[in-house]
Amino acid sequence: MALIKDILRTMDYGPSPESSDHVRAWLLKHEGGFGPFIGGRFTKPRELFDVFNPATGERIARATQGSPADVDAAVAAARKALPKWAATPGEERARVLYALARHVQKRERFLSVLETIDNGKPIRESRDIDLPLVARHFYHHAGWASLIESEFPGTRPVGVCGQVIPWNFPLLMLAWKIAPALAAGCTVVLKPAEYTPLTALAFAEICIEAALPPGVVNIVTGDGETGAALVAHDSVDKIAFTGSTEVGRAIRKATAGTGKKLALELGGKSPFVVFDDADLDSAVEGVVDAIWLNQGQVCCAGSRLLAAEGIADALTSKLRARMARLRVGDPLDKSTDVGAIVAPAQLERIERLMRAGAEEGLEIWRADDALPNRGSFYPPTLVTGAEPASVLMREEIFGPVLVSTTFRTPDEAVALANNTRYGLAASVWTENVNRALEVAARIKAGVV
């Protein structure tokens, strides 16, 4: 056993695992499989698919592959609940949203551990970022619900909302979609990603505990076919989707001419622009948050580093030193910085794109290739010398890979930043406020 003086001398991290016993007990209670949550209750499980822990590869649960009949039943329940929920005064809806927020907070530890086991993200992120934001979304929209009559007079709920969410922030995306819909008086049919349905199913239990009226929230699990059935359903008034650009295009095509409202949040290849007068140490920490948070599985991840030519080498050196200290491993260990990729299929996609980049002759650097001997892991990676046409500069990798190139002038930086078919987010690093504002205004991105 290491002595305290030895630990202080080396400052090596020891293991700091978070207990998952309570989550394992909950999963054991549902070992027969989860059915859809429709009309305020769980229906009987039928055709089941396996849910895996990406950090170990073990099967942790089974959930129902939602059929068109399940979608029909869920939409019918939402439609039946709509008139009463829409007519409920905003203050009453606010009380329900407050109750949901409080119940989420009561179960924060359980939900954060479940999210980490299901998704692979480090427990520090699910515990300290995701869960507080989940509760905050419900509290925030409870406030809007209480003010809806005075601040939005004459408005009406859209109706039944079909919501399809991704696997990178499963519970946070659920809150992001459900909270505003409930505040506005809409009812919901939500389909979580097939890789990560478990926190959505745990939230269904919270809906029962918080006395949410039956049918206001319905959850149907399944793959893309289940999502397609929800998108195509005639009784759905609005589709809200977060996910890949390819699926977003398919949804836009499927809903064209139907009169359905549509909200899409799709992919990104966001530029991270560093000028020669920037504080490089701060920029490095910004890069860590921008691309290695959640293993780079973030729509607005700063995956393209555009560095001024004069400081590119110094920035790269600092980045490599910082990458060497990132800890990859068990997501339930509170000392872990980078957890597991969500599924083997996503890991294979990252590896395939990296092979294509290597074939183009790009320089690929990793601090340490030593990874856990089981599970889906990929090390933090820095790619330098990329050209604008390089596959890794064009394609959304959705993994812990930063692709770097250089620029000489602000005009060139803006041109490189805008040389993408995406336009989700961007960040600009400089100590010159005028330059920051001028460049930010010229970058075509929704959030800068």
Q: Name the pLDDT band for 304 (thresholds 50, 70, 90).
A: very high
The mean pLDDT value for 359-378 works out to 91
Give which of 388, 419, 421 is closest to 405, Cα–Cα.
Answer: 388
Q: Is the pLDDT at 413 greater than 70, yes or no?
A: yes
In angstroms, the Cα distances linking 9 to 2, 325, 335 are 11, 17, 18
pLDDT at 7: 67
Q: Report residue 14's pLDDT band, with 50, 70 and 90 as the boundaries.
A: confident
For 164, residues 6+ apart whose C-beta sits below 8 A from its C-beta are 190, 191, 227, 230, 231, 239, 240, 241, 242, 243, 251
Active site residue 265: yes
Catalytic residue among 299, 348, 396, 438: 299
Query: What is the pLDDT, as a whole number, of residue 2?
Result: 62
Q: Is 11 left (phi over 0), alpha (psi -120 to 50) or beta?
A: left
Q: What are the DSSP calls for 228-285, one per residue?
A: HHHHH-TT--EEEEES-HHHHHHHHHHHTTS--EEEEE-----EEEE-TTS-HHHHHH
Residue range 165-188, pLDDT digits in tens: 999 999 999 999 999 999 999 999
Q: What proportion of the chain, given as a percentage, has pLDDT over 90?
A: 93
Distance of CA 409 to the CA centre of its chain: 34
What are the contacts of 344-348 at 24+ separation with CB within 8 A? 344/57, 344/376, 346/297, 346/376, 346/398, 346/399, 347/376, 347/377, 347/378, 347/399
Give residue 6's pLDDT: 72
Mean per-residue pLDDT for 319-337?
Answer: 95
Q: Compute the distance between CA of residue 45 and CA of residue 10 in angstroms, rounded to an integer.
A: 52
Q: What is the dihedral of CA 301, 114, 138, 448, to 10 degrees?
A: -10
CA distance 404 to 349: 20
Q: By C-alpha distance, which of 261, 308, 230 is closest to 74?
A: 230
- In what helix (H) or strand (E) does residue 38 lie, and over which residues does it extend? strand 37-38
Catalytic residue among 18, 125, 194, 265: 265
Residue 416 has pLDDT above 70, yes or no: yes
Give all domains of the chain, ordered by start, each with its CATH number: 21-265 (3.40.605.10), 271-442 (3.40.309.10)
Render pLDDT for 192-227 as a digit per residue (tens, 0 to 9): 999 999 999 999 999 999 999 999 999 999 999 999
pLDDT value at position 11?
Answer: 66
Percentage of the chain lying above the pLDDT 70 cut: 98
pTM across the whole model: 0.94
What residues form DSSP beta bridges with 53? Answer: none
Give the tens place of pLDDT for each residue, 102-137.
Answer: 999 999 999 999 999 999 999 999 999 999 999 999
Tell me the average pLDDT across 341-354: 97
How far is residue 349's CA from residue 326's CA, in Å, rounded to a whole number?
23
pLDDT at 5: 73
pLDDT for 1? 57
Choice among 4-8, 299-303, 355-359 with the minimum mean pLDDT: 4-8
pLDDT (tens digit per residue) in 51-84: 999 999 999 999 999 999 999 999 999 999 999 9
- Whether pLDDT at 10 is above 80: no
Helix (H, G, I), strand (E, B) or coil at 420: coil
Q: Which of 240, 293, 230 is nearest to 265 (CA)?
A: 240
> What was the pLDDT predicted at 212?
97
Under the phi-then-psi rule, with left for phi > 0, alpha for psi from -120 to 50, and beta for the rest, what region is 159? left
Is 205 among the residues known to form the active site? no
Q: What average pLDDT does this structure show over 344-370?
A: 93
Q: What is the pLDDT of residue 125?
A: 97
Q: For position 17, what pLDDT does the model report?
A: 85
Compute the C-alpha angle 35/39/41, nearest 5°: 45
Average model confidence (pLDDT) for the chain?
Answer: 95
Average pLDDT over residues 383-389: 93
What is residue 366's predicted lDDT score, i.e. its pLDDT?
Answer: 94
Provide the pLDDT for residue 174: 98
